[in-house]
Amino acid sequence: MTLVAITPPDFDVEFDLAYATPRNFTGKPVYGRAAAFLHPDAAKHLKRAIDLAAALGLRFRLFDAFRPSEAQWKLWNFRPDPDFLADPRRGSPHSRGVAVDLTLIDAKSGEALDMGTPFDAFTPLSYHGDTQVSETAQRNRFLLLGLMSASGWDFYSREWWHYQLFDARRYPVLSDSVLRQGLMAQE
């Protein structure tokens, strides 16, 4: 399986790949290098979303894309929470290369739109349709949902940042070995 590298100029996104840094819920890097990949089908849908967002003066900030199955196990072993993490025995859409975690930013200023919670906030406040976040955050979440849905993505009801292809389970779970240069940190 050949995954598509999500890189400029083909993909005009800002990168903030959380699992390549200690700024994630584990407190340490999970990936050894910061790079993003997607299955070609998902890459096509991301390009469509990028084009729709650009027409509104917006861009995406990408937090995660393909997540090797080894990384899914690390996350699960750190916090086995089925409300916010896919059980690696069943496989995550990320580990199939058909999911993205992202937010919207203003294309001119680079400022992130208010979504009410940070990425990976494992709380009911992160749910789509939560009315405890500000009206602005609710509008921004619906804007993100609309752009992604119009581009062929499905959403996960408990994470405003997570989108996946509708038929994600038809794709195989992939390990770090599918990449010429893997993502995983060496221990």
183 within some domain: no
CATH number at residue 109: 3.30.1380.10
**187 has a pLDDT exceeding 90:** no
> Which of the residues are catalytic?
159
List the one residue out of 48, 72, 70 whose CA is nearest residue 60. Answer: 48
135 within some domain: yes
How many domains would you assign to the chain? 1
Condensed to tens digits (0 to 9), the pLDDT of residues 89-124 reads 999 999 999 999 999 999 999 999 999 999 999 999
Overall pTM > 0.85: yes
Condensed to tens digits (0 to 9), the pLDDT of residues 45-84 reads 999 999 999 999 999 999 999 999 999 999 999 999 998 9
88 within some domain: yes
Burial of 36 (0-12, 13-18, 19+ CB in 10 A): buried
184 within some domain: no
186 within some domain: no
Other C-beta atoms within 10 Å of 52: how many? 15
- Residue 38: how many CA atoms within 13 Å on its side-chain side? 24
Type of residue found at 125: L
147 within some domain: yes
End-to-end Cα spacing for the chain: 26
Residue ranges making up the domain that contains 142:
4-178
